[in-house]
Structure 1
């Protein structure tokens, strides 16, 4: 299993960067996990739009799903359109982005598969186990298993023991860490810090931790140091273009 970071900014894309987007590959199957602002240009530097086999969207905030629209356009508005793209998401998460085009313009561009966070299902070669994690809107963390390897991804989440369940013995935990240490009071139930992510990884026994969704302008070195304070495994900070081999 291989993970490529397409984008990793939280809330909005910093200059020259992109929001959440992660390409997960196994035996030739390409799964895009989240498609936030500005991810499609960076994705298309690596693969053609028609080579994406499925998309998983953790929740309906635009920094996680807005670029599904240009991805579908890139697959459909061409002389040799790609087939319908399977897209997995919590109920209603894609309503806004799928309504951006005029009725009928993108008919057949995707096949929506809505699931309730907590469901388990297959996506190509991957077993996808989801968990409901606290956020302002319904958010699904996902545990992807293939070839005996496990990638756990939180989406955006406030404090929850379900994060530890999601990441139990994972080969890699990709964890939202919008803040370095203290989460502002108005966001404490819905977002996490790098320090919290380190504790999650330690409690779960995850083999590797990668911090993502850092707010633009956040000091990545400080974020890593905060995570390392509670976790003695390998800690990285997601950045566009980084590749992690889980084999």
Structure 2
């Protein structure tokens, strides 16, 4: 399967830097969008027809979901508006959260079911979406966040941390994954980070090592954090192939030979 990084800025976007959004596609199948933070929809238009994209949301923080109302406008009002509903998966309350963000009236919730068939994650209950086998694991991030273990038809495994603090479930998500796409929002210095909400470079590296992931790709670095320092921290804990992802990057995720 192919992973395209539409955005990878943590917590807030910046000039030319979209928040979390990743396009995943198995050969011969329509694409799947994982998260849709600020700036992601515009980047999606470079690579895919929004009317053909299924959406998986790890959680409902704005930097992971609040560009989805833009996709609703496209699907409803563009010259090539959607004629069929697409799949949308997310945590409890996803329909209300996106509907509230889409509504033009205070206190009103837009009915998004005209364009999306909405489903809520159930912990460790797998679903099949556009050729991909997706298993959600509830991880350590408020209020309700899921890491995703994604297996392609040829057996390649992409693990996505979502946002999380340290937890055993994160290791389960990433166990023996061919690519572990893992957040590392800041350095390990306790003066620079609140405890338990996100991972440091040290903690991301430790999780990848515990999981025996075949490769580690760091993402969700917040703009005020030193990304090189995070990479150095992770390299001290994880000995496998390691990189920081960047917007527009395309990664082929393949099973071992």
Task: Give the TM-score normalised by structure 2.
Answer: 0.90
**Equivalent position of 1:210 in the other structure:** 217
Separation in structure 2 between the aligned mates of residue 186 and residue 25 of structure 1, nearest angstrom: 34
Runs of at least 5 residues in structure 2 that lack an aligned partner in the other structure: none
Separation in structure 1 between the aligned mates of residue 250 and residue 52 of structure 2, nearest angstrom: 18
Separation in structure 1 between the aligned mates of residue 193 and residue 228 of structure 2, nearest angstrom: 25
Residue-by-residue CA offset, 1:158-200 (whole Å, 9 max, x unaligned): 1101111110000000111111223559732221111110111
Residue-by-residue CA offset, 1:43-95 (whole Å, 9 max, x unaligned): 1122222232x110000101000011101211221233212121001111342
Separation in structure 2 between the aligned mates of residue 87 and residue 245 of structure 1, nearest angstrom: 24
Runs of at least 5 residues in structure 1 that lack an aligned partner in the other structure: none
Q: What SS class does the counterpart of residue 35 from structure 1 fall into?
A: coil
**Equivalent position of 1:135 in the other structure:** 141
Deviation at 1:122, TM superposition (A): 1.3
Superposition pairs of residues 40-59 of structure 1, within 5 angstroms: 40-52=41-53, 54-59=54-59
Conservation of the 8 A alpha-carbon contact between 2:10 and 2:221 = yes
Q: Pick from 156, 166, 169: which aligns with 2:173?
A: 166
Q: Does 1:241 align with 2:242?
A: no
Conservation of the 8 A alpha-carbon contact between 2:186 and 2:192 = no
Change (3 A) 1:106 1:58: closer
RMSD (Å), alpha carbons: 1.7
Change (3 A) 1:14 1:133: same
Separation in structure 2 between the aligned mates of residue 80 and residue 215 of structure 1, nearest angstrom: 36
**Equivalent position of 1:16 in the other structure:** 16
Separation in structure 1 between the aligned mates of residue 121 and residue 218 of structure 2, nearest angstrom: 26
Deviation at 1:228, TM superposition (A): 0.4
Superposition pairs of residues 86-165 of structure 1, within 5 angstroms: 86-99=87-100, 100-102=102-104, 108-146=114-152, 147-165=154-172
Separation in structure 2 between the aligned mates of residue 187 and residue 119 of structure 1, nearest angstrom: 31
Change (3 A) 1:105 1:226: same
**Equivalent position of 2:71 in the other structure:** 71
More displaced 10-residue stretch of structure 1: 159-168 or 117-126: 117-126
**Equivalent position of 1:197 in the other structure:** 204
**Equivalent position of 2:7 in the other structure:** 7
Deviation at 1:107, TM superposition (A): 5.1
Residue-by-residue CA offset, 1:191-237 (whole Å, 9 max, x unaligned): 11111101111111111101111011322221111100001111111
Q: What SS class does the counterpart of residue 188 from structure 1 fall into?
A: coil
**Equivalent position of 1:30 in the other structure:** 31
Q: What SS class does the counterpart of residue 201 from structure 1 fall into?
A: helix
Change (3 A) 1:14 1:155: same
